[in-house]
Amino acid sequence: MPRTKRIKELLIEYLEKEGEANFCRLRDHINSKLKYGTTSNQLSNILAKNNEFSKIDMMTYKRVVFLNTYETVQNNYKVTVWKLNEVNK
């Protein structure tokens, strides 16, 4: 079975259960299920080029990194939110 087909099936299964999810949650889910995971570029292509998925929103993703006891760095970046198309449900 082609690798992208397995990723697509896992995405559909996850989004049927959750309803909608941001890109980071989708990538983390795929990487936890597959031995070799996926890259962000590969996942972006699968989501954008398949009509089973639709982009519904952009959200700001916040991540705090603790450098040491006294220093932290906060990263904010925008990620897309995806859901299954109603046609496929």
Q: What is the pLDDT of residues 9-32, one digit of tens each?
A: 999 999 999 999 999 999 999 999
Residue 9 vs residues 12, 28, 47, 50, 65: alpha-carbon distances, Å: 5, 15, 12, 12, 33
DSSP H helices in 1-89: 3-18, 23-33, 40-49
- The domain spanning residue 42 has which CATH number? 1.10.10.10
Mind listing the pLDDT tens digit for each residue in 5-15? 999 999 999 99
pTM, entire model: 0.81
Please give the order of strands across the beta sheet that includes 72-84.
20-22, 72-84, 53-66
What range does the domain containing 53 cover? 3-88
For position 89, what pLDDT does the model report? 53
3-class DSSP assignment, residue 4: helix
In the chain, % of residues over pLDDT 70: 96
Asked if 23 and 29 touch (Cβ cutoff 8 Å), the reply is no
- Provide the domain count of the chain: 1
